[in-house]
Structure 1
Amino acid sequence: MDPQELQRASIKAAEKDLRAILDRDFSASRMSTTKWAEVAEWLGASSLKCNVKFVDVPDKVFEIKRFRHVTGDWFDCGSLGPFTSISIEWAEIDHLEDIEKQLTEMSVPYDRESDRIRIIGHVRNAE
């Protein structure tokens, strides 16, 4: 197997693992790749930092300074390397009135918790 074939096989295996986690632990997906791309473009233009929770990393939240759309399903933030849109459980940013207005205009699903806005990628099963 050449290096590109090996990389493609590895990506397919990782995606299969992600989909198994989503099927097992989550009841719904709320964001498409297109919506995440819109959010990434908007966050990149505004220079807002955000915290991101991934579905396959159960007990850790990552601070992202440059959330950007690379191509297709792929996103990057510099320090973590590339990740796919289906791996994002949620992203949180500081609450500001204009942020909430922008997300509503973009039809992005979010929850507001005091001083934070949480953009919902996937909804966890009720525990």
Structure 2
Amino acid sequence: MDHSPAGKPAFMKYVTLLYFLVVAQLAAKRQLDSWLPVAQLVALLHNWIDEHQMKCDWRDRIWLGKASLEVARSVHAAYGPAFVVPFLSTVAESRTMAGDAREKRSILRTACFHYLTRKL
């Protein structure tokens, strides 16, 4: 992972990827009452990296997968299983809870950012 100031766009891609993986973890926990299976987590991670044409070595991929579970567990413990509901809503439903969804997206993105900055 590029940690230099010139690497800020790369760092923000890591934040966005971690955010995506945490939402997937929380959705799985809410819908299946279990965290994502490793194979599904790896597939999501690889697909996201390919889609965004991001460079990410295998050690960072493992680390981000582990980080997604740690952040998801932390958010789940702090806010409960209903936290992820706005992320799973239809467009019509999301309009009715727009403020709540925006706040939760901000909370989650901040949690991902702080996790990455603490661990680097």
Normalising TM by the smaller chain, what interval?
A: under 0.3
More strand by share: 1
More helix by share: 2
Larger RCO (CA within 8 A; separation ≥ 6): 2
TM-score, normalised relative to structure 2? 0.25
TM-score, normalised relative to structure 1? 0.24
Greater Cα radius of gyration, structure 1 or 2: 1
